[in-house]
Amino acid sequence: MLRETQPPPPPSPSFLQQHWRAVLGVGSFAGMVFGVIKGQQEDRVLLIVLCAAGLIALTLATWRSVQPRPSPPTPLGIAGNAPAAVACSVGGYDALTGATLGAHGATRGAAQSFEGVPDEELVTVKVAAAGINYADICLRWGLYDSWNQFGGGLRPGQEGPGAKGDVPGFEFSGTIAEVKPGASHNLKVGDEVFGATMFGGYSSRLVVPGHLAFQRPEQLSATAAGAFTCVAMTAWFAVQQQAQPIARGHWVLVHSAAGGVGSMLVQICKIKGWRVLAVVGAPHKISACHALGADAVVDKSSQDLWAEAKSIAPEGFAAVFDANGVGTIKQSYEHLAPCGKLIVYGFHTMLPRQGGVIGLKQWLGMARDYLRTPTFNPLSMTAANKSVMSFNLSFLFQRRDLLEVAMGDVMEWVASGALTVPKVTSFKLDEVRAAHAALESGTTIGKLVLIPPNPQ
């Protein structure tokens, strides 16, 4: 009978194996100094060249070692059904951490969003679903202006003058858990609602101004409603406030058409009577865009995007909706028809799609892409009769006039069946890191939501 034997342990690495980069660097530098001081003219040049080559080799060899080591998207460790929230700092997936709220605690949006709102107008929502948006990833990287300027959603104990919170999340659905006497809104305890918040949505309980919570229509499930508000508002603003007016029958192009905002843009553009070319980056997204009503779909992973676009709309597009940035923005502008509008609402191609972190390599890549990003000369734009427009709705939370008009339009379209949330993928709040990794990858279709814990 053979006995199982354990393999011998690997030998401990030698000093040189552990510290060879430092030895090479010090040796190269010392050799260069010695060559300059002591060497003959011809030897001095040779030594300097060899040692410089050594330093270059050292730099290349250590390139990978200076990259941040991404942490895997592990669960947060939120236990049971106790109310909880997600706090976020700058970094990779491990920058997302769990935070308990207590039996009656609740998060709220950034302090900026409550300016001028009387206390009696606030409502507390027991959150059923919290939408995940690409902006949430950008703020985790420290790249989202309004988060950097105003801070995130506030947890209990973070309130006070000048307080800056750390809870992400722009949209939610749920049930009204508390209203205050004297409010001007018509919400009451038990109402099923959905809405927007200026951060703070990754939470079991959320306090929002009453005008940012809306009665959930029967056409939207609680999960779908949690994924609806921000993408619908973004697409509405891009179409109604920036692209209009465009006559029926004209071609428009929608990048990232199978994503959250893109899927809304395709549907709203069809509601307006426009012909839509939907652009996707993978074959499994093609059928989703046809289901949304797109007149044509281009998979840029296997087709020449701009050759296809030219054949579909030889005269150009009345509008191009572009959240890619440097990857497509120049060609998007060049393929506008006279009087066409390029509408920019993101810069996704400048950002990493895996690993969850931004290290030296990624920063250098973003600097390169920043320098490659085209500028548009007003003189040439005037001659071409083309426009470039852009927006960030997180700076427009105070525009209640826009919100009321937008919500009136989208609710009418939802009631008629013309506007839907086509696909929603759910993650537990505890799985927020995995959800961020999935959205970063660029492989998802539709929207992602978090389901927070809540006691029954």
Q: What percent of the chain has pLDDT over 90?
A: 64
What pLDDT sits at residue 54? 60
End-to-end CA distance of the chain: 59
Q: pTM for this one?
A: 0.81
In the chain the domains, ranked by start, together with CATH numbers, are 20-53 (no CATH), 84-227+423-451 (3.90.180.10), 232-395 (3.40.50.720)
315-345, pLDDT tens digit by residue? 999 999 999 989 999 999 999 999 999 999 9
Q: What is the pLDDT of residue 60?
A: 54
What value does the mean pLDDT take over residues 55-71?
54
Average pLDDT over residues 155-179: 89
Residue type, 214: F
Mean pLDDT of 145-151: 90
- Residue 1 has what pLDDT? 33
Q: Which of 53-57, 137-141, 179-183 shows the lowest mean pLDDT across its residues?
A: 53-57
Greater pLDDT, 133 or 57: 133
Q: Does the pLDDT of residue 72 top 90, yes or no?
A: no
Average model confidence (pLDDT) for the chain? 86
Q: Of 414, 438, 420, whose CA–CA distance to 356 is shortest?
A: 438
Mark 141-168 as b/e (b = at least 16 C-beta within 10 Å): bebbebbeebbbbbbbebeeeeeebbbb
| C-alpha of 293 from chain center | 25
In the structure, what pLDDT confidence band is assigned to residue 276 with cuts at 50, 70 and 90?
very high
Residue 19 has pLDDT above 90, yes or no: no
**Packing angle between helix 15-38 and helix 41-62, nearest 10 degrees?**
150
Q: Is residue 429 very low, low, confident or very high in pLDDT (cuts 50, 70, 90)?
A: very high
Under the banding of pLDDT at 50, 70 and 90, the label for residue 9 is very low
Give the pLDDT band of residue 22 (cuts 50, 70, 90): low
pLDDT at 2: 32
